[in-house]
Structure 1
Amino acid sequence: MIRSMYSGIGGMKNFQTKLDVIGNNIANVNTFGFKKGRTTFKDLVSQQLSGASNPTDNRGGTNPRQIGLGGTLATVDTVHTQGSLQTTGRALDLGISGDGFFIVNNGNLSYYTRAGNFYLDRQGTLVTADGLKVQGYRPDPVTGDVDYNDFGDLQIQAGNVIPPEATTAASFNGNLNSEATNGAEVIVRYNVIDSLGSVHEIQVTFQKTPANNSWTYSINAPGMANVTQPAGALGIQFNENGAVTNPLDPTNITVQPGNGANPINFTLDLSMVTQFAGSNTADLAEINGNSEGFLESFNISQTGEINGVFTNGEVRVLGQIATAIFNNPGGLTKSGDNLYQVSNNSGIPNVGVAGEARGVIAGSTLEMSNVDLSEEFTEMIVAQRGFQANTRIITTSDEILQELVNLKR
């Protein structure tokens, strides 16, 4: 009877712990990125009254006789199942669909979180609600591409400016009509940018020659001083299948803007132009160079790239948000404020970008808590009844002890 009383006490403690965990789950039912907890129990050591015996020729074996001494807490798990994603329409709200955590930094200490409600501070640094800095890969200042060796704070600075870049390459595609009469002209006009960001018109005139599958072309820049191009007649030669055979290499062109800017040196690639019967569709395919632009807006892709849209139509990568995965995410230590820390049993973080064996980032969404209220209330009833049953064990054992005491009378 004394054993049963202590078993009841242990059971009451266990179910009280279970109610504590359930209460915390319900309190965080609307906490972004929250992962619910779960309690599991195990039995304590059993008192051995007699051991098992071997069978003999005359008798069979017997089983051990043991009396359990109650139960105890086995684990308090963090259940890292996916929470539902809620659309917010806010550009800096991010949710992870799949495995992974955002990495945030407080000085030299890194934390991990699933809550993606981020903000910008006065310096344009991407931060959490508590000011921890979101970590990721920054762009190379020369090429503009993401530098995966440059890991640190990410910034989205209002009024960010990209300077003008002069045109250095242009290419054409489309068709020149093989049935055009001799002397027929096709004129294509397009714009190039000088080193000061000014726009200048370039005119390319194609002219059919009497020779089979042959055209000439000339390049002019109306309103500018002069155009320097290769000496001699410029021509395009096609084969019997309508593909260019000459020039296969781009033509070097130099234009003098006449406005104090550097000469515009660019190449003109005509190797993709065709000559088939039909209409004349030759036109500009690609051209580089841009005028001055100011950051107008930004968006974040599924892989975490922060793409800035500038007023000149250019789209530049401003950085890429990093994510981390763990061998055992259940081993992470909760630090409060929706944050986790590495523990001895979580494993080291595997840091990279979303989409590479990691979950993808959903822009303008937030991950809701994975707490299911119907499940929690059901577990609450189970815990309540279990607690009541263990109190009944204690009261019943007490009544029996009282009967034993009364025997003395």
Structure 2
Amino acid sequence: MLQSFYTAFTGLSADKDWLSVISDNIANVNTVGFKAERAVFEDLLSRSLTTFKNGAPVNREVGGGVFVSATVKDFSQGTFKNTNNPLDLALDGEGFFMVKDKSGVTYYTRNGEFRLDANGDLINMLGMKVQGWMLDDNGNLLGAVSNINIPRDIKPKSTSYVAFKEPSNLDSRAPFIEDNPNTANVDESIFNTANSSTFNYVNAITVYDSLGNPHNLEFYFIHKQDNSGNAFWLVYSAIDGKPVEIPAGSDKFAFLKIQFKPDGTIDEANIKGYGKVSSVTNESQTESADDGKFTLSNSPLVPGSVKVSYNSGNKEIFDDGKGNLIDKSTGDVKGTVDYSNGTIKVFDLAGNGNNNDSINVDYEYYDNTESTNSLDPKKIQTAEVDLKNGAAPIELSLNILPLKQVASDFIFYSEQDGNSKGDLMAVAVSEDGTIKATYTNGKVKDIARLAIATFKDKEMLVRKGSWLYVPNVQTFTPVIMPGGVISKVRSGMLEMSNVDIANEFINLITAQRTYQANARVITTDDQILQETMNIKR
């Protein structure tokens, strides 16, 4: 008789635990990343007796009640809530985010409410560090899983690599540029930056020095034809008007000579330096009239190379690469230079009453020397260009192989690897878990990639509160992989609790009724026991 009291009591205890599980689920209906739990009931056996009648077994079993032997987590995915915060993340699929506390313990969570702290570390709302792989400049994973840190700024980087990219094209229908017949050495009159009739196309990209200063890297393209009727192109480049020595070597060449195959691609065996640059130091010239005009011994000149001294060396003016002679102390234009014929005019010496003023000039000029060495179009090294601004000289590696020559409009498209200083402006996360940072200098950089962990048996995870789980065997190793492999990372969203309120209310009603039923059993047992006690009366 007394056994039935205890049997009903186990039902009350089990229902009480079930109500606790249900109430916990309902209470966490708004908890981000929460996974509902389900109570697992197990029956108790008080006694069991098996006998045999006519050779057949007869069982006599009396149960001892019930208890909640376990709770099972429902790891089905919850619905997504849009937050428009790029660092709010949700996993669309399997897996868990990894976070680490200050003592080095790793926890696992589906709650992706993350933010940046003052040091640029990606943390959750408990201050734990989000785990992932940092990336190098090429987007490759660096080392092992570690804290994710997003730099608040990036340092200036000097441009070292410039590449033409498809669909860059030189129009094969472009007219040939003829040499100037009025110049004694026609091969030396191939080019003049101040005269658009001496080149077909010009375009520029911005490059950077080691201090982050921007500079214009200009490319001039000249369509030529040799005496045998073979077409080729000359490419001249300058940084802020100062010529770039391409390729670097003992002889200074001002141009690249490029020939193309019949299919419009670059003939890799026919890329050479063209147009040797020679230097003249302290050449003296005297004007023939009081007009400040002087004609040098060699022409055309190299833009940006001219330095003029006059008034016995007390005055110096410099070529800006655009045909102007500048007083660097004031920035005033003090003269002009014509690169095509070597004519210089100094304003201070014009109309001053002296018919035979003299100047001394340092300059560079072209001749028609052509290199015999073919160059690798994927890696053409230039000499250093010292811009005299306190930054390290710029030295470039050029990749011109993607350049084409077909009957289509001129297109110039290129990339370079330098940048100025930039401050963090925005952070975004792609579906594969790559964290991208946008800086005020316009650079978008892949910084890190989130690590996603999964377990062969997720039931081995133990709740630690605050959205966190840990494996119940610390030596167990989870499967860790980058985002996007087993699940997509949704930025600007959070995974809500997967608790089904309707189902929980049904469970709540069921738990209430079973509790009442077990209570009625105890009442009935009490009444029967009372009747038993009354037998003695």
> In structure 2, what is the equivalent of residue 264 of structure 1?
394
User: Could you tell me how far apart the structure 1 residues matched to 2:158 and 2:53 are?
Assistant: 91
> 2:449 is matched with which residue?
320
Once residues 89 and 172 of structure 1 are traced to their aligned partners in structure 2, the CA distance between those partners, rounded to angstroms, is: 35
- Structure 2 vs 1, CA of residues 301 and 346 (structure 1 numbering), >3 Å: closer, same or farther? farther
Which of 271, 281, 300 is the matching residue for 2:429?
300
Alignment correspondent of 2:219 = 203
Residues 311-390 of structure 1: pairs in structure 2 closer than 5 A: 311-344=440-473, 347-357=476-486, 359-390=487-518
Over aligned residues, Cα RMSD in angstroms?
A: 2.6
Structure-2 change in CA distance of 1:398 and 1:172 (3 Å): closer
> What per-residue deviation string (whole Å, max 9, x for no partner) do you get for residues 229-258 of structure 1?
244974322233333223372243336253
How many Å separate the matches in 1 of 2:254 and 2:447?
46
Deviations 1:193-250 (A, max 9, x none): 3333331231322314265662221314275343312449743222333332233722
The alpha carbon displacement at 1:375 in A equals 0.7
**Residues 213 and 347 (structure 1 numbering): CA distance in 2 closer, same or farther, change over 3 Å?**
farther
- Which digits, 9 at most, give the CA deviation of each residue in 1:369-390, with x for residues without a partner? 1111111110000111111111
Say whether residues 1:31 and 2:38 are aligned partners.
no
Matched, 1:280 2:409: yes
Q: Which residue, 192, 202, 205 being the options, matches 1:188? A: 202
Shift in CA distance, 161/148, structure 1 to aligned 2, threshold 3 Å: closer
Aligned partner of 2:79 in structure 1 is 84
CA distance in 2, matches of 1:182, 1:146: 46
The 1:346–1:109 alpha-carbon spacing in structure 2 relative to 1, beyond 3 Å, is closer
- CA contact under 8 A between 2:215 and 2:239: conserved in structure 1? no
Cα deviation, residue 337, structure 1 = 1.5
Contact kept, 8 Å, 2:438 with 2:445, in 1: the verdict is yes
Aligned partner (choices 120, 132, 136) of residue 124 of structure 1: 120
CA distance in 1, matches of 2:14, 2:36: 18
Identity over aligned residues, as a percent? 35
Distance of 2:233 and 2:246 partners within structure 1: 13
2:322 maps to what in 1? none
1:68 aligns with 2:84: no
State which structure, 1 or 2, has the greater radius of gyration over its C-alpha atoms.
2
1:100 aligns with 2:98: no
Q: Does the CA-based 8 Å contact 1:322-1:353 persist in structure 2?
A: yes
1:216–1:235 Cα contact (<8 Å) kept:
yes
- Does the 8 Å contact 2:177/2:200 carry over to 1? no
Cα distance in 1 between the residues matched to 2:383 and 2:452? 47
Against the structure 1 CA distance between its residues 133 and 224, is the aligned structure 2 distance closer, same or farther, given a 3 Å change threshold?
Answer: same
Please give the TM-score of this superposition, normalised by the length of structure 1. 0.88
Confirm or deny: 8 A CA contact 2:50 2:57 kept in the other structure.
no
Give the whole-Å Cα distance in 1 for the aligned partners of 2:138 and 2:171: 40
Question: For each residue in 1:101-154, what CA deviation from the matched residue of structure 2 results, as whole angstroms up to 9, or x when unmatched?
Answer: 2222221222222112123333232222222222222345xx474544143322
Distance in structure 2 (CA, Å) of the matches to 1:273 and 1:162: 31
**Unpaired stretches in structure 2, ≥5 consecutive residues:** 179-198, 248-252, 272-374
Aligned partners of 2:113 and 2:124 also within 8 Å: yes
Matched residue SS, 1:403: helix
Alpha-carbon deviations, 1:306-333, whole Å to 9, x = none? 2111122111233333222112222212
Structure-2 separation of matches of 1:300 and 1:233: 44
